[in-house]
Amino acid sequence: MSEKDVDLRLVDLIGKVVGGIRLTATESEAAFDRFMDGSASEIEMAGLLAALRTKGAKHTEIAGGVRALRKAMVPVFSSEPQRLVDTAGTGGGEVTTFNISTAAALVAAGAGVPIAKHGNRSFTSRSGSADVLEALGVDIDLTPERMGEILEEVGIVFMFAPLLHPAMRHVAPVRRALGITTIMKSSDLSPIQRELSGRSWAFLTRAYVVSWLEDCKKLDIYELSSCMVIQAWTKSVHQVLRTFRSCQILEYLNTM
């Protein structure tokens, strides 16, 4: 197979998305495999990411992309992975706030919850978790092995995304230059997978929890807020399970 044939195939996938056609999980995985092995050009990567953002990524496109990215991920060891919590933010919020996901990680760890916080530097906001922790004097440049050791010893560790996703170096400059929310977010790529995940945009509703303002405008933050009505979606049948207010979150979680 010639390089030209491969390039045309990726261009064809971009064309499908631009035309409003949903990619299959296999097609999406193949495209993001190209991102990870460095064979896709920056123009191709930017084109597909922007097209998915404009069309609105569907669950098959997200699933395929995440599979490709996770195949290239370096794991972090934990003796009790089922107990771990990752407060990684989804990114893309347009309301100026402090770094809530990092603060939440510290508070939860202080309460005895084992935290494996996955995060990166800022792509679309003033500061990412890595920026905040580095400014506080935290050593974020750790090997995956050392991350696992600290997690076992202390009960909280910061997992700097570039060290666990070295293949992401090919697409990182593109994401930074685009400056828009894409499907390549830290919470999707964390070694710690949980049942609920927040999203700030409606194009990521399927397979995720989506937040909306009470007046039905899109909410530009992804943390729970007292001004929200929450929609909980199920991964299996892509339907809204329940709509509730933020003050009812504990009641909802107790029914799961």
CA 245 – CA 163 distance, rounded (Å): 38
What's CA 18's distance to the chain center, in Å? 23
Q: Residue 210: is its pLDDT beyond 60?
A: no
**Contact between residue 172 and residue 184 where contact means Cβ atoms under 8 Å apart:** no
Amino acid at residue number 85? V
| DSSP helix/strand/coil, 154 | helix
Quick one: which of 40, 38, 54, 37 has its CA closest to 10? Answer: 40
Better-scored residue on pLDDT, 139 or 7:
139
* Whole-number pLDDT of residue 227: 53
For 131, left (φ over 0), alpha (ψ -120 to 50), or beta? alpha
The one-character DSSP state at 73 is: P
Angle between helices 3-18 and 25-37 (to 10 degrees): 130
pLDDT tens for residues 92-142? 555 566 788 888 899 999 999 899 998 888 765 677 889 999 999 999 999
CATH class of the domain whose range is 3-71:
mainly alpha
What does the pLDDT average to over 173-183? 85
What does the pLDDT average to over 182-189? 68
CA 192 – CA 158 distance, rounded (Å): 12
Better-scored residue on pLDDT, 225 or 55:
55
pLDDT tens for residues 157-171? 999 988 999 998 999
- Give the β-pairing of 156-160 and 198-199: unpaired
Domain residue extents for the chain: 3-71, 81-164+183-189, 198-254
What does the pLDDT average to over 238-242? 52
What does the pLDDT average to over 189-211? 47
CATH number 3.40.1030.10 given to 81-164+183-189: yes
What does the pLDDT average to over 71-84? 86
Fold identical between 3-71 and 81-164+183-189? no
What does the pLDDT average to over 209-222? 36
| DSSP helix/strand/coil, 209 | strand
CB atoms near residue 147 (< 10 Å): 24
Residue 194 exposure: Cα atoms within 13 Å on the Cβ side: 20
Angle between helices 42-55 and 25-37 (to 10 degrees): 150
